[in-house]
Amino acid sequence: DAKTTQPPSMDCAEGRAANLPCNHSTISGNEYVYWYRQIHSQGPQYIIHGLKNNETNEMASLIITEDRKSSTLILPHATLRDTAVYYCIVRRGGATNKLIFGTGTLLAVQP
């Protein structure tokens, strides 16, 4: 599975959009981009995933560049409860279901 690179930390003002970048320059054609987050002392929570196209759900939007070498997770209106570590994970589809978690980005939403 491809390796990802994320900034260790970011700040965002409450009510503003939070844009979390992820580089995955060695991604292959059958690998998906997943985003999970982990709020302090809780289990990781699935946010969104995509293959090629941009995706949106009730939590966030995922923007994947055309060459698929990077992506951005967008939380449109960040709240204090969005303070968490955000993990970008690249994983093949198919039979294997393992997730390889890196160190993620600590997003601190400021009041």
For other proteins, the binding residues (CB under 8 A) are 32, 34, 41-46, 49, 51, 87, 93-95, 97-104
CB 22 within 8 A of CB 88: yes
What phi and psi values does residue 63 have, to the nearest 5 degrees? -110, 120
The residue written with tokens 């994947």 in the block is 64
Least separation in angstroms between CB 11 and other proteins: 21
Give least dist CB 67 to other proteins, A.
20
Query: Minimum distance from CB of 111 to other proteins (Å)?
Result: 27
* 98 vs 111 by CB, closer to other proteins: 98
Instruction: Residue 6: name the closest of 96, 91, 80, 85 by CA.
Output: 85
